[in-house]
């Protein structure tokens, strides 16, 4: 692997670029973001020892995010050419690795869909679903106690703005947000999946975070099962004020 340095603020790669290498953070940190209209919105930060860019290399997909140096950073880089050369004498190994990546992604999706995680809230065992505010901006609109979700599916989005295309379906809960890109007109939905409660991102540009895990069309899964108890939800990027606390009470 080659060691390469980026100064704070420099771009490592941009959304849509060819996936020509993967990186390991040797020191410092990088910020992962996506474009939302004219703005760039942070999604996560990666630190020492964390790997990024490898999925695009293995699966021959373009970059789905932009990565910039959050601090002066040192990265260990392996190019796609070097990666392919390493497997050049054994093309079967590279084929198998790509197959394993596909199967890992499929397996992760099946786990979400089959709701195998212990404690997943079965619809039949739920007494109440309540969406409470997770920020002062949301509390000012729905109150401290939030709203009770009485019927599924229940979608959440932002109020229409000038220039928005006509909505085919309005969300059940419509909110004002500080910046339009923080939340889509229909951003996420609470719904039943295979007898259990789940949250699904509705194909938004920035995705939705559930307990710190991002679900989106550009991630491994766009949905996640919900457990009994408390879950934290954030629409959009790291700095979004569209934050919620989901409280699911059992019978």
| CA 111 to chain CA centroid, nearest Å | 17
How high is the mean pLDDT of the chain?
Answer: 85
pLDDT at 49: 84
Per the model's pLDDT, the better-predicted residue between 236 and 102 turns out to be 236
Residues of the chain with CATH 2.60.200.20: 120-250
Q: How many other C-beta atoms lie within 10 A of the C-beta of residue 147? A: 18
For the structural domain made of 2-86, what CATH number should be given? 2.60.120.10
What whole-number distance in Å separates Cα of residue 142 and Cα of residue 163?
A: 25
What whole-number distance in Å separates Cα of residue 158 and Cα of residue 75?
A: 39
Q: Which tokens go with 44?
A: 């996560």
Over residues 46-64, the pLDDT tens digits come to 898 888 887 778 778 898 8
What whole-number distance in Å separates Cα of residue 237 and Cα of residue 251?
A: 34
**CB-based contact 138:212 (threshold 8 Å):** no
**CB-based contact 208:233 (threshold 8 Å):** yes
Of the CA atoms within 13 Å of residue 237, those in its CB half-sphere come to 21
One-character DSSP codes across 8-45: TT-EEE-TT----EEEEEEES-EEEEEEETTEEEEEEE
CATH 2.60.120.620 fits 120-250, yes or no: no
Residues of the chain with CATH 2.60.120.10: 2-86
Mean pLDDT of the region 123-130: 93
pLDDT at 154: 96
């Amino acid at each position: 692997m080659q060691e390469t340095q980026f100064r704070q603020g420099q771009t490592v790669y941009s959304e849509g670029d060819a996936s020509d290498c993967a990186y390991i953070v040797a020191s410092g940190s990088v910020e992962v973001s996506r474009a939302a209209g004219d703005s760039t919105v942070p999604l996560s930060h990666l630190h020492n020892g964390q790997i990024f860019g490898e999925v695009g290399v293995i699966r021959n997909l373009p970059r789905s995010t932009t990565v910039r140096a959050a601090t002066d950073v040192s990265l260990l880089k392996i190019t796609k050419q070097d990666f392919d050369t390493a497997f050049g004498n054994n093309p079967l190994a590279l084929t198998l690795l790509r197959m394993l990546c596909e199967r890992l992604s499929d397996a992760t999706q099946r786990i979400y869909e089959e709701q195998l995680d212990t404690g997943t809230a079965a619809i039949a065992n739920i007494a109440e679903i309540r969406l409470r505010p997770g920020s002062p901006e949301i509390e000012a609109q729905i109150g401290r106690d939030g709203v009770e979700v009485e019927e599924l599916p229940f979608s959440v989005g932002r109020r229409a703005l000038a220039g928005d295309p006509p909505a085919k379906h309005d969300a059940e809960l419509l909110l004002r947000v500080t910046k339009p890109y923080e939340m889509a007109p229909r951003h996420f939905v609470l719904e039943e999946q295979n007898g259990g409660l789940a949250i699904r991102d509705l194909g938004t540009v920035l995705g939705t975070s559930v307990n710190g895990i991002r679900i989106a069309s550009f991630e491994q899964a766009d949905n996640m099962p919900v457990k009994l108890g408390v879950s934290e939800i954030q629409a959009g990027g790291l700095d979004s004020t569209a934050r919620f606390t989901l409280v699911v009470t059992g019978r």
